[in-house]
Amino acid sequence: MVKIKVRNDLDAPIDLKEGHPGNFREITTIEPGESYKIDFLPEATYREYKCVVSTDSSMIVNLSSDDLSESPEEIVITKNADGKLIFKLRKKNGFDLGNVTSDANIERGTAAVGKFFSKYVKGPVLSWLPGKSKDKKQAEAAAAEAHRKQAEDEAAEAHRKQAEDEAAEAHRKQAEDEAAEAHRKQAEDEAAEAHRKQAEDEAAEAHRKQAEDEAAEAHRKQAEDEAAEAHRKQAEDEAAEAHRKQAVQS
């Protein structure tokens, strides 16, 4: 993806449109002196841009994929000395690749043939450019083959993009599921640990209570036994004393 700046050097707004022949959509309006960056995919050879002067829709300049494939840093929409709408392709070092009018792209010769033709067609299409033979049938066949190859490449690119998106979505879903499972497992472990600790505490408390009750019962039993023994001993002593006194009186 290449970012290319389109600058409006006119004194009127420009409506920037994107699409292909017969189907364009407006993407923005560039005010005088302002710029807008477009995202250009070099492989998308079908994509074109139209710059239409808002105050005069008859003034139009076309930016083809061939023009954009020359990788300019900036495209300046302006007028020439005759008042005709043109655009300039400018690289980072300020070098103009050429002033281009909407109806004279063909006059730029083979230097303006973009990556699309050099990649898919090369010689066959160049045969009908200026200075070459004008074998129209051969050029049409080459263009048809180029169009077929372009469609295949675009379908492959769309398929690759879909596969990437699906893989990314699957990865995201897997990460969410793993996080949810880890959270659930952690909650279960914490609940189990809390339950175990509660059971231990309750068992310890029950054991302590039982020990206290047993100790209290043993202490009570011991006190009863000691009291009974003291009472028995006292009774025996009293009986023995009474018997002794009786014997003395006799």
Co-location of 106 and 84 in the same domain = yes
**Could you tell me if 138 and 105 lie in one domain?**
no
CATH number at residue 30: 2.60.40.2890
C-alpha triplet 106, 107, 109: angle, nearest 5°: 80
What's the length of the chain?
250
Q: What is the pLDDT of residues 85-115, one digit of tens each?
A: 888 888 766 656 655 554 433 223 333 334 4
> How confident is the model at residue 124, as a pLDDT?
42
Cα R_g (the chain), whole angstroms? 50
- Number of structural domains (the chain) is 2
Which runs of E-coded beta strand occur in 102-250? Answer: none
Report the C-alpha gap between 17 and 23 in whole angstroms: 10
Quick one: pLDDT at residue 112? 34
Please answer whether residues 64 and 114 qualify as being in contact, where contact means their C-beta atoms are separated by less than 8 angstroms: yes
Say whether both 71 and 21 belong to one domain: yes
Q: How many Cβ atoms are within 10 Å of 49's Cβ, its own excluded?
A: 22
Coil, helix or strand at residue 116: helix
What is the model's pLDDT at position 45? 64
Q: Which of 103, 54, 58, 95 is nearest to 76 (CA)?
A: 95
Within 10 angstroms of residue 74's Cβ, the number of other Cβ atoms is 16
Task: Give the pLDDT of residue 129.
Answer: 44
Query: Residue written as tokens 């043109």?
Result: 86
Burial class (CB in 10 A: 0-12, 13-18, 19+), 87: buried
Task: Express each pLDDT in 145-186 by its tens digit.
Answer: 777 887 788 788 888 888 888 999 999 999 999 999 999 999
**Integer Cα distance of 127 and 134 in angstroms:** 6
Q: Domain boundary at 84, 117, 150, which?
A: 117
pLDDT computed for residue 97 by the predictor: 61
- Give the angle subtended at the CA of 73 by the CAs of 98 and 64, to the nearest 5°: 60
Amino acid at 208: R
In sequence order, the β-bridge partners of residue 40 are 2
Q: Is residue 245 part of a domain?
A: no
Check residue 145 and give its pLDDT.
79
pLDDT at 44: 66
The first and second tokens of residue 187, run together, are 């909650």
Do 58 and 125 belong together in one domain?
no
Q: Are residues 17 and 113 both part of a single domain?
A: yes
The per-residue pLDDT for 136 is 65
Q: Is residue 248 part of a domain?
A: no
In a domain, 167, yes or no: yes
Domain of residue 130, residue span: 121-204
Tokens 């006119």, residue located? 10
Q: How many CA atoms lie within 13 A of 234 on its CB side?
A: 6
Do 97 and 169 share a domain, yes or no?
Answer: no
Tell me the pairing of strands 74-79 and 2-8: parallel
| Residue 243 covered by a domain | no
Find the helix or strand (DSSP H, E) in which 215 lies.
helix 136-249
Let me know whether 13 and 108 are in one domain: yes
pLDDT at 6: 92
pLDDT in tens, the chain (250 residues): 788 899 999 999 999 998 877 788 899 999 999 999 988 877 766 778 889 999 888 888 888 877 777 768 888 999 888 888 888 888 766 656 655 554 433 223 333 334 434 444 444 444 444 444 456 677 777 777 777 887 788 788 888 888 888 999 999 999 999 999 999 999 999 999 999 999 999 999 999 999 999 999 999 999 999 999 999 999 999 999 989 989 888 7
| The pLDDT of residue 80 | 85
In the numeric block, the tokens 């299409």 are attached to 125
In a domain, 232, yes or no: no
